[in-house]
Structure 1
Amino acid sequence: MNPDWKELDQQVTVSGQIRPEDVPHIAAAGYRVIVCNRPDGEEAGQPDWDEIATACRHNGVTPKYVPLADRSPTDYAVNSFGAVMRETEGKVFAYCRSGARCQAIWNAVKSRQAAGAL
């Protein structure tokens, strides 16, 4: 596993910003879905979501865009990420600027699941 990736559980791994050329490596590692939790244009030089999504489609990975402006998970982000986790048979790779937002959303999903609310 790439040292910049953080495995949260057997299904979900998070990381900081990826580039289109990273997608083949993510696909080769067995990930079926890539989730972007970062809004486009947040930082100069950041690849647009469309570039990542195109690379996903070319590599047999399902792209999902669930942007979050900060580390406070919205209901939309939690519900969307939870749905990706439920509906994906296999591994999910999520990224944002540093991986922190992805982990915050994952924590919120796990908390709601434990409470029977998701």
Structure 2
Amino acid sequence: MDLRPLDDTTFAAPMIDPSDMPALAEAGVTTVICNRPDAEVPPSHRTAAMQSAAEAAGMTYVFNPIAGMALTVDAVEEQADAIDGADGKVVAYCASGTRSTILWALAQAGRRSADDILAATAAAGYPLDGLRNQIEQLEARA
């Protein structure tokens, strides 16, 4: 597993495996968020299998798929709600971790400065300077 910290409790990750769930739970993860649509993965990694594995390990599983880069405000709010509702660490994953990181960054708008958000994403290996305008627009609405 390649968990990349975005803050003290939230991590982005490239695709994880159902067999990773017990180790995630042992590491204090309480919520797993999938940002990858089922159409992108084999049956062994689709929502039903991943949710079953996460729940068997005692974690909450949230399916918030983003097809391509078709982000919506609803998807950002769902991501924020899942992170805010967790009582432990959160791992959000997709193919490379980029979609999950973008959702986190947009969900942080108004909670942290754009500079802090972009520094965190870059430190995690996801330089997202192109999101600055969107983060600042969401920050202004918060």
TM norm. shorter chain > 0.5 = yes
Q: Spell out, residue by residue over 1:67-104, the C-alpha distance to the aligned partner (whole angstroms, 9 max, x if none).
A: 00123531121000111122112211110000000000
Normalized per residue, the structure richer in helix is: 2
Q: Spell out, residue by residue over 1:40-91, the C-alpha distance to the aligned partner (whole angstroms, 9 max, x if none).
A: 0214576111101001111100010000012353112100011112211221
In 2, are the aligned partners of 1:6 and 1:15 still within 8 Å (CA)?
yes
In 2, are the aligned partners of 1:73 and 1:104 still within 8 Å (CA)?
no
Partners of 2:5 and 2:81 lie apart in 1 by 19
Question: Aligned to 2:67, which of 63, 66, 69?
Answer: 69
1:1-118 alignment runs, 5 A limit: 2=1, 4-44=2-42, 47-114=45-112, 115=139, 117=141
List runs of 5+ in structure 1 lacking aligned partners. Answer: none
TM-score (norm 2): 0.74
Give the 3 Å change call, closer, same or farther, for CA 70–58 of structure 1 in structure 2: same
In 1, are the aligned partners of 2:34 and 2:92 still within 8 Å (CA)?
yes
- Higher mean C-alpha displacement, 31-40 vs 67-76: 67-76
- Runs of 4 or more above 6 Å deviation: none
List runs of 5+ in structure 2 lacking aligned partners. Answer: 113-138
| Root-mean-square deviation over aligned CA pairs | 1.8
Shift of 1:16: 0.8
In 1, are the aligned partners of 2:77 and 2:107 still within 8 Å (CA)?
yes
Q: What is the number of residues matched between the two proteins?
A: 116
3-state SS in 2 of match to 1:105: helix
- Higher mean C-alpha displacement, 12-21 vs 36-45: 36-45
TM-score (norm 1): 0.88
For 2:116, the equivalent position in structure 1 comes to none
Identical columns (%)? 29
Give the 3 Å change call, closer, same or farther, for CA 117–91 of structure 1 in structure 2: farther
**Greater relative CO, 1 or 2 (CA 8 Å, sep 6+):** 1
User: Which one has the largest radius of gyration?
Assistant: 2
